[in-house]
Chain A
Amino acid sequence: MTTKHAEVEQRAPYVGRAVDRLDGPAKVTGAARYAAEHPYPNLAHAALVHATVARGRITAVDTAAALAVRGVIEVLTHENAPAMKPAPALSMLNPSTMASGTSVNYLATDEVHWNGQPVAVVVAETPEAARYAASLVRLTYQESPAEVDFAAAEPNAVPQKNNPLQSAGADKGDANAALAAAPVRVDLRFTTPPHSHNAIEPHATTAVWDGDDLTVHEGTQNIAWVRQHLAQRFDVPARRVRVLSPYVGGAFGGKTMIWAGTLLAVLAARATGRPVRLVLTREGVFHTVGGRTPSTQRVALGADADGRLTALIHTSVARTGRVGGGPEQITSASRHLYAAPNIHLRQNLVQLDLVANTVMRAPGESIGTFALESAMDELAWELGLDPIELRMRNEPANNPVDGKRFAHRMLREAYALGAERFGWKERDPRPGAMRDGRWLVGMGVATAYHPAWQLPAKVGVRLTADGTVVVRSSLHEMGMGAATAQAQIAADTLGVPMEAVRVEYGDSDLPPGPGAGGSGQTASAAAALLAASHKLKRSVFALARHAPDSPLRGRRLDRLEARDGGLYEGSAGETYAAILTRAGRDHLEAEAGPGMLGFAAKMLRDRRNWVKAASGAQFCEVRVDQDTGEVRVSRWVGVFDVGTVINTKTVAAQLRGGIVMGLGLALSEETLVDRRTGRVVNASLAENHVPVHADVPRIDVDWLGDPDPTMPLGLLGVGEVSITGVGAAVANAVRHATGRRILDLPITLDKLL
């Protein structure tokens, strides 16, 4: 990566190119096998029975009718199931303790904590028999009062506690006094509903015990957590648990924690002595896997007549489950976006008797930026100022809450490029002034912002005597193009063609990869891959430099260039294959990656010095039907500062994917909880409205391409930033089209009538 030779510059690096996904052929031919698609002789099928009350105790169990169904092998309830160990207590030294979706010890208790909690498992010879028998299991409950209504509980929220990774608030100056004194102000209250990941692959587990050896096929975002968690719950050493997860059919945060289905498949396999497959029904996903918390938020902004902020207040209320879940960084973007001298941020929580909430694409930021960026837009209206200009006037030099340095900050550039691509200057600033027949046309902008994370990861690199390279790490491929990106990096750093690189991933027997979360997988793995490749080059060179007939004899490694499948200085050098063959080695291997403690120390040090984030400018054009209030998004431009871009093809897709999910957040998505029973009412893909083809226009995405100096390879992460700001950009465009400010997501047509 240091000196460049003329020969090298002739061959463009793979990083930065548009490369087809390595798993493309498997996915377009149906050959890719997901967690529910692995055949085993004697495989049995399991189905869940869900509680129908929100809180209480099971007083009676009647499984007679279920057991009488032909093909039923076993019905497991708290009366007869073997016990698992309870979920572990949270420990900062062992991140896998964060893996429990909930703290419930399923089938070891008669207690019911939410409506939909699994309370029995039927195991049968066929999936049909299991499902039918599950419908026949009769449970009697003694109900206790349950709190399930977020709107009713929200006034009783308590302040969230700080933790080392997440701040629950911030204070600078006296924001309340500054707000009261401000000549111009807005003070708005926003609400956002619960959202569900709705990955098209429902959670599925195939579990096979052989003595104390357990094999699990599971679509997961964290192979290491699944392995360690299952080992702990079933009291076997982690090395005896193998988790296979080469294909994950969408996840978006929903496959980060370990939920009931995984545990109960393994339990059912243990109890019956059969390989067991458990595929959640679509409804079962809503009942057993958490989603995004609903929120209420207040954003109050004070400014002087020139639009310079004097006060920024952002407070939030979110919910967790009484048996699990965690806070989201809803006010996080308000720590970083605007140079207000007085800032007050506070996050609050309520606990409800509902399935635990969990992380979902940009947890916190996705809904937090809806509120903050809608309020900024409203302030622009108050001031009669262009909303981009208002943001530029408040662009900070350092991090507003604490004065730390930004590792990277290119929002000015993102807005400038976006405005040009979008044609922002065509916008008539008057509300309702732009029309296209019966459609009112509106244009809105909002800022996208997501912190950049690096996670601990190990990567192994193997070089074989035929010149092929195998990159080995238990990476997660949920569709981000993770393996393809690492193959590009490996090809560049080792100087081999991409065709010579294979990536092994999705298997707990490989060196442990990073969890796929926080948009940090690619950067985290890249750091370890670069280190491992460097080690590998050192060992290859060690074989050559004393060999009498090697052209590398007596040279120095730091002068050599990895290219053309070998090491060269000028025209002198030789291929890896030649070096290994001469030395009689069929392969060489190196592995790298930080230890947990050293990594944590470095991360905390880093976070003291820098604020690292991906960011961007979202531009939206909507058409609103003048009579029905129907909102159609007609154009989109997103320009992002995501640092280095490895694969322009997959990065564009991922950025678009986040925007599409943001369109759902803005206009249609809402998981409805019955206020009386705590049951999810629209637990299906027919009634939980995710965007379809017809809802999605051409989405123009671009990036600034400037590497971040503090992150591995300059990567800031792309998975989440692009969903942030989308809700506000749509709401702001609707405001422009109609003059109406919608504070309550989703922006359905009834709210515009």
Chain B
Amino acid sequence: MTEIRMRVNGVVHSLDVEPWVSLLDALRERLGLTGPKKGCDQGACGACTVLADGVRINACLALAVQYADKEITTIEGLAQGGELHPVQQAFIRHDGFQCGYCTSGQICSAVAMLAEHAAGMPSVVSGSAARAELTDAEIRERMSGNLCRCGAYNGILDAIREVATP
């Protein structure tokens, strides 16, 4: 067992974890934060997406002990002072989900994706072009690590587009 201190959604937790415990299991099973979902536990679906220092990661592929000194944000930490994050509101308005199981991951992923884009990070769609315009094709490409078997992709795109376009 290793005792680690982890800052999650602004709160510091100290917990004992074996070195093989994934960040996802630490959040879900030890801290009771079940917002991040486990769809595959293999890095293939994106349901477990959380933010580590603002960067999106698959929590199922991360070891908890590696993230001891990072600021973790889960879906539970996106709303501020009782007010939903604009991406959360847009998902409701544009019906960006059905069963809801991929939704936490989609929303965390979208929040970080918009930040990546704002920071000038390229994608395969824009190639090396800096500051590519955030077209529908860009959004789709950059969100393709998050599967939605309910097929809510059109609604998700509309939600992200609305937040991205002031």
Contacts and interface: CB of A to CB of B under 8 A. Distances in A.
B64 to A, nearest CB: 11
Interface string A138-163: 00000000000000000000000000
A28 B103 CA distance: 6
Interface of B: 18, 20-21, 25, 28-29, 32-45, 47, 74-76, 78-79, 84, 88, 91-93, 95, 97-104, 107, 136-137, 139-141, 143-157
Nearest to B29: A127
Given A28-B97, A29-B76, A696 B154 contact: yes
Given A30-B36, A200-B149, A657-B152, A281 B103 contact: no
Interface string A639-659: 000000000011011101111
A128 B21 contact: yes
Given A20-B95, A30-B75, 18 more contacts: A20-B92, A24-B91, A25-B92, A28-B103, A29-B78, A36-B38, A128-B21, A128-B25, A199-B149, A200-B37, A250-B101, A250-B149, A479-B100, A654-B98, A657-B98, A661-B151, A685-B40, A686-B43
Contacts of A20: 92-93, 95
A141 B140 CA distance: 48
16 contacts: A25-B84, A28-B91, A28-B97, A28-B103, A29-B88, A30-B75, A202-B40, A250-B101, A252-B149, A480-B98, A481-B98, A650-B98, A653-B95, A659-B151, A694-B141, A696-B154
A200 B139 CA distance: 21
B141 A693 contact: yes
A51 to B, nearest CB: 22
A694 B140 contact: yes
Interface in A462-482: 478-481
Nearest to B74: A30
B156 A249 contact: no
B153 A660 contact: yes
Contacts of B36: 30
B150 A684 contact: no
Contacts of B92: 20-21, 24-25, 28
Given A28-B92, A30-B35, A201 B154 contact: no
The 7 A-B residue pairs with the shortest CB-CB distance in the complex, in nearest-first order: A30-B35, A479-B98, A660-B151, A249-B101, A27-B100, A479-B99, A657-B151
Nearest to A18: B95
Contacts of A660: 151, 153
A30 B34 contact: yes
B46 to A, nearest CB: 9
Contacts of B18: 128
Contact of A200 (B47, B107, B153): B47
A685 B147 contact: yes
A249 B28 CA distance: 16
A39 interface: yes
A693 B157 contact: yes
Contacts of A693: 139-141, 143-144, 146, 148, 153, 156-157
B99 A478 contact: yes
Main DSSP-derived SS at the B contact region: loop
Contacts of A690: 147, 149
B18 to A, nearest CB: 7
A657 B153 CA distance: 8
Interface in A16-44: 20-21, 23-34, 36-37, 39
B44 A28 contact: no
Interface in A511-547: none
A410 to B, nearest CB: 25
Contacts of B155: 653, 656
A466 B43 CA distance: 50
A197 B99 CA distance: 14
A429 interface: no
A208 interface: no
B99 A248 contact: yes
Given A128-B21, A200-B39, A282-B39, A34 B151 contact: no
B88 A200 contact: no
A510 B113 CA distance: 42
B101 to A, nearest CB: 3
Given A23-B100, A248-B99, A685-B147, A28 B84 contact: yes
A525 to B, nearest CB: 18
A692 interface: yes
A198 interface: yes
B39 A656 contact: no
A56 B155 CA distance: 49
A127 B79 CA distance: 30
A698 interface: yes
A2 B101 CA distance: 41
A27 to B, nearest CB: 3
A201 B39 CA distance: 5
Residue from A25, A31, A33, A694 having most chain B Cβ neighbours under 10 A: A694
